[in-house]
Amino acid sequence: MATRHNWTKEEILEIYNKPLMELLYEAATVHRKHHDPNTVQVSTLLSIKTGGCPEDCGYCPQAARYHTDIAGNDLMSVSHVKAQALRAKSAGSSRVCMGAAWRNVKDGPEFDNVLEMVRTINKLDMEVCCTLGMLTENQAQRLAEAGLYAYNHNLDTSEEYYKEVISTRGFEDRLETIDNVRKTNVTVCSGGIIGMGEKEEDRAGMLVALSTLNPQPESVPINALVPVEGTPMEEQAPVSIWEMVRMVATTRIVMPETQVRLSAGRTQMSREGQAMCFFAGANSIFAGDKLLTTPNPDVSEDMQMFKALGLNPQKPFTKKSKPETVEATDSKYNSLGEKPKWSRPGHIIERNKVTEEKQKAKAKA
């Protein structure tokens, strides 16, 4: 079946709610048509700048306003990043994803350093991904020129529920950044989080937004919320393995060629649960003991699981060839120092406000 870009919410909900065995069978069949079922791509996520973010994402311990116990740090040095990338490579990772807790990328020395990190990791023959917030087209072009393989920018949830999670930027800003990345040869990684209090309709709505992009994202991370104390979502009930399996299987069916990535929330899943997700079409994981700031299984535990399941880590540049790296001195792009007018919808999200006030009072006491 050809990849469709016209899925409706109703069709996706119907798939999501199929009897589980039927859903698993269908997803596994689609998976085998498009991918080697015994190969799983392994990414290492590296937080190159942690905490102090001005945004109000209700799930995120890095938002400055929630004052959670996350130790913040300034931008890592290029040499530190290189050492971490080499360690990840020797542990079986084919991709390094660098995350910075920024609202958007600002031209200047910090971005220049990130570009140097991209060049350095690409030269190690690893796929390089970045997640740095909102991007202009010029910034996307500069990242592409440095050798970036993928840019992550999650839609998080449906357009409707987005307004219950984040008030400091709009859903359309996310789409605009994805569009800017699409103007380059960098691949798109975009997914979301389940367990934030959204309805099944919102899960389907997010998959409509992702699957109707043309082309569809090359990677789709599916996260289960890890509720962190101090954030507005600290009391959310954990999602069940069945919800995770259904979400993975549905994503696989509506986006047959994408790499579906099991992301945050894997520590709460048993090996059997993860195996079921692989069967349902997940073919990528984040490795390493930390996912930006939330815990994650240790790499050696993952490799034991791979051995038990007969899975092999995917080699880098299997899906697309290695990008060229242009040195900074040969760049054909200038830093434009643009100050784009990203939206600030500024609507009130009750649970975010309550948490912010509570944390302010705590800091004063």
- Interface with ligand SF4 (CB under 6 A): 53, 55, 57, 60, 62-63, 101, 133
Cβ closest to ligand SF4, residue 60 vs residue 269: 60
How far out from the chain centre does Cα 9 lie?
22
Is residue 253 within 8 Å of residue 214, measured between CB atoms?
Answer: no
Binding site, annotated residues for [2Fe-2S] cluster? 97, 129, 189, 261
CB of 156 to ligand SF4, least distance (A): 8
CB atoms within 10 A of CB 361: 9
Closest distance between ligand SF4 and the C-beta of residue 143, in Å? 17
Per the CB < 8 A criterion, the answer to whether 60 and 53 are in contact is yes
Q: Which is nearer to ligand SF4, 93 or 223 (CB)?
A: 223
Which CB atom, from 177 or from 216, has the smaller least distance to ligand SF4? 177
Is residue 277 annotated as a catalytic residue, yes or no?
Answer: no
Catalytic choice (65, 95, 97, 174): 97
Taking the complex as a whole, how short is the minimal distance between the CB of residue 62 and ligand SF4, in angstroms?
Answer: 4
Instruction: Out of 142, 246, 261, 266, pick the active-site residue.
Output: 261
Catalytic annotation on 189? Answer: yes
Q: How far is the CB of 65 from ligand SF4 (least distance, A)?
A: 9
| Complex with ligand SF4: residue 122 or 219, whichever CB lies closer | 219
C-beta of 3: minimal distance to ligand SF4 in Å? 29
C-beta closer to ligand SF4: residue 12 or 129: 129
- Rounded Cα distance between 126 and 259, Å, is 17
Yes or no: say if 15 and 253 are a contact pair by the CB < 8 Å rule.
yes
Orientation angle between helical segments 9-16 and 20-34, nearest 10 degrees: 110
Residues that are catalytic: 53, 57, 60, 97, 129, 189, 261
